[in-house]
Structure 1
Amino acid sequence: MIRTGQSWRVGARTATLRITRAEDRVAQPGPCNIVVTDGSLSQEQFLTRYAYKEPVVIRGATDNQVFRSLTRQSALVEGYGHTTIRLSSANSYSYAKKDISFQDYCSSHLHPQLPSTLGNETFYFFGDNNEEWDDLLELYKQPPYLLPQHTAALSFGLAGPGTGVPFHFHGPGFAETMWGRKRWFMYPPEVSPNFNPNGTTLQWLLNDYPVHKDDPALLECTLGPGEIIYFPDKWWHATLNIDSSVFISTFLSP
């Protein structure tokens, strides 16, 4: 794979990472009203201020240049192109699954999201990583913050511009963008967002966001490469890839 920018395209034997063209970018970055801090945040401060209370964006907490570089080298497709990956439908509950080779996924599934395509009709690679990816994931430096009596599980993925997962919630964790930008929308557990669980985040952005963007309960921020977001337990969140994106999440389970 040759580094030329920030999206994926696979030919007969190689994949290239190219800059997302303006005409392929179906959504734009938005404002940020989530607290943004830096790597000077201590473990004690994390537990006191954020771990159980609110999300936070952290810059410079880790140095993942090695891991980041490996997600753009030819070894990624050459080493994993044959691997069968499991795609999940991009609706709230991700019920449907589809198996495909990593190379075929890069070749046929990284186009821009169509506004007319529903989430349950959209499949992309996130969350279901088999053991063949373990050697790569072991090189990722996890965020240096712990939740007592919780263990971490990593989830790696990549997707085209305009894709994402609509509102859902689960346990706490961190997410980091390696390449591209990802826009996050969040609501606290006590506020249920108005959305179609089989729609896409792009459809919600186009149709519902203009009505709700001034809601004081709505938090949002766009993350760039190397920035980490922490989401507390049971916080609603939806994601939207502004560019073709490579990302990794650290899920925390008791």
Structure 2
Amino acid sequence: MADRVKRRKDPRSINLKSISIPHPLGVKPEGNSLLNPDIEVRSQSLGYLSKLDDETIMTLLSYLDIEGLKNFMYVSKVTYAFTSEEEIWRRIYTENFHGQEDFNWKGSWKKSILGHNNIDIKVDINSDVIYRPFQVRSIDYTKLFGNLVEDELNNKHSNNNPPNRIPRFKSHEVSTLPKTPFILTDGEWPQWKLEDLVEKYGSVTFTQESVKWDLKTFSNYLKNNIDESPLYLFDCRSEAMKSIRNDYEVPELFKKDYFKLLGDSRPDHSWIIIGSKRSGSTFHKDPNNTSAWNIALQGRKFWVMIPPNITPPGVMVDDEESEVTSPLSVGEWILSGFYNDALKIPEVLMGITFPGECMYVPSNWWHLVINLDDSIAITENFVPDCRLHNVLSFFKDKPNQISGFKLSDINDLIDKLSYKCPQVSDFQQKLKESKLDLFADCGELESLPDIPIFDIFKQLLIDNGYEKELNSSMDEINKTWNNLTSDSTTFKFNFE
């Protein structure tokens, strides 16, 4: 009898059962209602509210002020369980306490506001609305992806690039940027630790999504929080960032950047990113079809990369990808089974950047990132030679999705170029009539006239001696369009 060939287990695979753990208040997942209904408990504890589903009750709580929320919390054990969710108290903070100089982070939003977390009680109810956020914030990604971390570490030392992994290269092995992601394993990067940055910039205010704290406060939050989706410091405009930009060199491979032609009018493009373990970003594409590089200075980052033409599992987009809907957190995406669905896609790439490594993200690629450790990274968006046509195509075909530009910057570019054509003149006239905020991000404004950035950018390329590159990119755009609209045995657009 032929010997059986033992198949090697895919190190990317995970066991979702390992994430099922007891809730500290005794709340169980909704599925337990099939064997142990909680109708009587809910009726006694919630009264008339028991007729509502849990989602509706949680929505109602979002309208309460802090006094109303405290009154509701102490009605019964069940109402207390509903107010155990951190997101409720995070909202209370942003509405009532944000900006207070004496705010002291105490390990959770609830404890920071009320002085305590949860009382030691047990509640015999079944609720995914209460249980699920706790389950998400309890995920230990280091254990969950332990096999992949070990395998990637072995690949790092052996220069092995197995299938379905983001390949690793040294600088001398890459002469031109490929069409797919890769990890650059060598380079001279800053050796920053969070403690070093806190010592130097501790009193400086940085932007952390919905809040703005000094770095010392955020450092305390980063080391001790129980959020389902922890705050992510993603800063480009602080006084510290102006100094930090002088402390690192752009990798040689990524120095060619056509957005430099925009000068001071280019969108924000360089950021420092600091996040606690479990933080990260759900699936997205970088703005304006730009490419990006991301250097991990402290901590390991787990990446899932999917080509432009494949919509990630669990993500919904409209036809133009102007509206993207996905799970609220990376943990929710994993628990819902979408990670395992992604493993079935032959083109999906996964990998881990270790401290001192740099990820290259080609334009238009979907990517999801999870911080396995407390992390610090530097990232920049840029436009290289091989991706110029992607940006030009985006500017030409999706002017209503352009982001990062201020209308005042667009006006400055037009004035500097002294560029006169019907489109630009029409745009400036419509802008005067609209009375829009000239200093707001155009991506956040409604009823915005189509920005003529395509014509502006083309002219900048010509004026700076890149007409050959422009023509080559336009040929690539036209070739792609012709391929889509030409006769085919398998597919054809029908235009009248």
TM-score over 0.5 for the alignment? Answer: yes
1:103 aligns with 2:216: yes
Residue 68 of structure 1 is aligned with which of 191, 194, 197? 191
Partner secondary structure for residue 211 of structure 2: strand
What is the one-letter code of the residue matched to 2:233? Answer: F
Corresponding residue to 1:141 among 238, 246, 249: 249
Indicate how the Cα distance of structure 1 residues 113 and 46 shifts in structure 2: closer, same or farther if over 3 A, else same: farther
Query: Could you tell me the TM-score, scaled by structure 2's length?
Result: 0.39
CA contact (8 A) 1:174 1:229 kept: yes
* Map of 1:58 onto structure 2: 184
What aligned pairs does 1:144-159 form with structure 2 within 5 A after superposition? 144-146=252-254, 147=256, 149-151=258-260, 153-159=269-275
Aligned residues of 2:305 and 2:366 also touching (Cα < 8 A): yes
Q: Are the counterparts in 1 of residues 313 and 341 from structure 2 also a CA contact under 8 Å? A: no
SS of the residue aligned with 1:100?
A: strand
Retained in 1: the 8 A contact 2:257–2:382? no
CA distance in 2 between counterparts of 1:133 and 1:222 reads: 26
Question: What is aligned with 2:355?
Answer: 225
- How far apart in 1 are the matches of 2:139 and 2:191? 22
Shift of 1:212: 2.2
**In percent, how many aligned pairs have the same letter?**
21
Question: What is the root-mean-square deviation in Å for CA atoms of aligned residues?
Answer: 2.5
- Contact 2:236–2:270 (8 Å) recurs in 1: no
Distance 1:248 1:25 in 2: 26
Measured in 2, the distance between the counterparts of 1:110 and 1:137 equals 25
Aligned length: 208
Which structure shows the bigger proportion of residues in helix conformation?
A: 2
Q: CA contact under 8 A between 1:179 and 1:247: conserved in structure 2?
A: yes
Distance 1:25 1:225, change over 3 A: farther
How far did 1:73 drift?
5.0
Query: Match for 1:184 among 277, 295, 303?
Result: 303
TM-superposed CA distance for 1:98, in Å, is: 1.7
Deviation at 1:148, TM superposition (A): 5.1
Aligned mates of 2:353, 2:237 — CA distance in 1: 23
Once the two structures are TM-superposed, the CA of residue 198 in structure 1 deviates from its matched residue by: 4.5
Distance 1:113 1:129 in 2: 28
TM-score normalised per structure 1? 0.73
Task: Give 3-state SS (helix, strand or coil) of 1:63's partner.
Answer: coil
Shift of 1:153: 3.4
Larger radius of gyration: 2
Supply the AA of the counterpart residue of 2:180: E
Distance change >3 Å, CA 128–CA 241, structure 1 → 2: same
Q: Is the 8 A contact 1:34 1:221 kept in 2?
A: yes
* 1:5 paired residue number: none
Using the alignment, how far apart are the partners of 2:346 and 2:225 within structure 1? 31
- Shift of the alpha carbon at 1:123? 2.2
The question of whether the paired residues in 2 share the 8 Å contact of 1:175 and 1:230 is answered with yes
CA contact (8 A) 2:194 2:376 kept: no
Indicate the residue corresponding to 1:82 in structure 2: 203
